[in-house]
Amino acid sequence: MDNVVARGTKVVVTGAAGFIGSHLVEALLDQGYTVIGIDRRSPRTDPIARLNLQEVVGHPGFSWAEADLMDADLDSLMEDVRYVFHLAAVPGVRSSWTGFPRYVTANILATERVLAACVRQEVPRLVYASSSSVYGVSGSPSRENEPTLPISPYGVSKLAGEQLCLAHAKRPGSRLSVVALRYFTVYGPRQRPDMAIGRVLAAALTGEQYTLFGDGTQRREFTYVGDVADATLAAATVDVPAAVVNVGGGSSVSMIDVIGMARQVTGQPVPLAAIPALAGDVPATAADLTLARALLGYRPDTDLHTGLARHAEWLRRLPPDQLSLYTPPRVAIEEVSACSS
């Protein structure tokens, strides 16, 4: 992206205190953007938000708004904004079966509020963080033009948000353009602590048991967070009125292979306990990246082994009190959800 174009351009990132959101904020600041971060989690009171944002708090180009999207003054926050990156959401497949009202509020109703504010403030571009969970079960690499048949309430909520975005962009006379990015299982430093790769690496480093759902043959297209940030930046400036684009890591890998790589990069065994697979957990995900290459110039730079090594090194550097944040109780585990904020 051209730093001359970026310099001083005002953007908003919702979900800025989250895993992907905090990496995106850093990338935008590096490009010279002026960034408004919005999140209901506060770095003053939430230890993970504090850890995620420690590199940007105090940066002259970064301003912080602690707010819930359902009651925030979005018109004021989006005044003179060029791009909105909407990453805020309630993530996770497992808890969506019992807590769906939270998903409806955060993933659908809040998305509509963000879109309406963009329209009123004449924001020209919104980039929406969608999920590979919208596809459901697929026997081959998923393409953006194939049917979407989510098999979890979480996937349903992300698809509804995506469709709302496209409806606003395609409305006659609309000045708002939208790119929805379907992220495939994002991992890397700061990954949400109930996600699979972080839990596997933490198990190797601490000796805590890793609970494997199913027999380990389920496959995921794991995508390094730096590649996701690059794709998200590219989506801001691509010249399209409305588009849906896959963002994946370039290959689909089994959990058995992930566990083997974790042993290699940490030099430690991964203590295991296996339990049956959970409802909503698809057998495999894989992304067709043809459109991402053509539209965004996207080519993932980080292979899984390299990304695991970076993730493990980040965990190693954490002091014990912070590492404990990434070794959650077994009752809190989510497994390999497709997207994480």
Under the banding of pLDDT at 50, 70 and 90, the label for residue 5 is low
* The pLDDT of residue 330 is above 60: no
- Shared domain for 83 and 38, answered yes or no, is yes
296 falls within a domain: no
Query: Which tens digit of pLDDT belongs to each residue from 57-95?
Result: 999 999 999 999 999 999 999 999 999 999 999 998 888
Active-site amino acid positions: 154
Query: Which tens digit of pLDDT belongs to each residue from 199-220?
Result: 999 999 999 899 888 889 999 9
CATH number of the domain enclosing 99: 3.40.50.720
- Shared domain for 113 and 93, answered yes or no, is yes
pLDDT at 335: 44
Domains of the chain: total: 2
- Shared domain for 238 and 192, answered yes or no, is no
- Shared domain for 93 and 238, answered yes or no, is yes
- At 327, the amino acid letter reads T
Domain that holds residue 180: 3-185+225-247
pLDDT at 329: 55
In the block, residue with structure tokens 């697979």? 277
Query: Which tens digit of pLDDT belongs to each residue from 189-199?
Result: 999 988 999 99
CATH number of the domain enclosing 273: 3.90.25.10
293 falls within a domain: no
- Shared domain for 141 and 200, answered yes or no, is no
Query: Which tens digit of pLDDT belongs to each residue from 17-65?
Result: 999 999 999 999 999 999 999 999 999 999 999 999 999 999 999 999 9
Q: Mean pLDDT in the chain? A: 92
